[in-house]
Chain A
């Protein structure tokens, strides 16, 4: 699956997220460009990133920083 993520770095929060099937890569790339252009026109500096993962849980594992707060980022280290 593809995940289009709009992330506000300064506050460390995801502002929007949209998923696409793996077969819709061009559609996802188009959506990424559209979002980036729209944010630029509004003068908003958010990170726009397209990621590909098996599912949401895989995405949360490898890119936890987008989704987790400091309090939960390193939980379960020793497990």
Chain B
């Protein structure tokens, strides 16, 4: 029993949604079921807002069409769906993303974490965390700004060009551009990590100054490495922007032609 709902009742509703034969009574039941996530949703989003001082955009209830599409796409049951309610955070880069995940892990009863940076889903990169509250799962999506731009582009293409684009299908030209952009995002994340690493090493050497003999040549080497990686980061952004602009132009043309 899921707080007033029998699991079998919810799963039968899911089967009707999957088949596309939905009555008004079904929509009312789905509405009641989604509303039962409101309390847990408010509690979890409240923690994100107050403890982390972040402003997520919340989605108190997944849309009927999104639920239907997911049921039709996957073999999942409605009662198993982890993202009926949730929120999204867009952060600056992978370091902030890691820090946010760590704090959330400590602040909430986390049921699962899916790191799509390690295993991207058809190019989609992000971290999804499911927090449990009063027996209800609440999904928190944490994306970097670049991962978010990619995701929005992919979702928009899925909306207006072909819904299967998000899941590895659709026109080859679009698919290929999205793949290239996803790889460029990944490269940029690696460069950002390298840049932060060199900065940390440089700070550590600076901190040691005056306490012990330090090697001036090491300092010079690190400074030069920092400049080099910084240039690579800037070039990476340019390359990524070029891929994204090409993807946008291609998608835009495609939209008009179709």
Residues of A at the B interface (CB closer than 8 Å) are 9-12, 25, 29, 32-33, 36-37, 40, 45-54, 58-59, 61-65, 68-71, 73-74, 77-78
Contacts and interface: CB of A to CB of B under 8 A. Distances in A.
B237 A78 contact: yes
Interface stretch (B127-135, B150-158, B190-198): B150-158
A77 B241 contact: yes
B66 A47 contact: yes
A37 B24 contact: yes
B59 A50 contact: yes
B23 to A, nearest CB: 9
A32 to B, nearest CB: 8
A1 to B, nearest CB: 10
Contacts of B45: 52
Contact of B159 (A12, A51, A64, A71): A12
A46 B159 CA distance: 11
Interface string B246-258: 0111011001000
A50 B60 contact: yes
A49 B38 contact: no
Interface in B39-56: 45, 55-56
A71 to B, nearest CB: 6
A10 B59 contact: no
A62 to B, nearest CB: 4
The 4 closest A-B pairs by CB, nearest first: A52-B58, A78-B237, A62-B57, A74-B244
A77 B57 contact: no
Task: Give the size range of B's interface with the partner.
Answer: 35 or more
Given A36-B27, A62-B88, A73 B153 contact: yes
A25 B240 CA distance: 40
B55 A12 contact: no
Given A62-B88, A65-B152, A70-B252, A78 B240 contact: yes
B218 interface: no
Contact of B24 (A40, A58, A74): A40
Given A9-B160, A59-B57, A78-B240, A65 B28 contact: no
Interface string B140-155: 0000011011001101
21 contacts: A9-B65, A9-B160, A12-B156, A36-B64, A37-B27, A40-B22, A40-B27, A47-B63, A47-B65, A51-B57, A51-B59, A52-B57, A53-B57, A54-B55, A59-B57, A62-B56, A62-B90, A70-B156, A70-B251, A73-B152, A78-B238
Contacts of B88: 62-63
B31 interface: yes
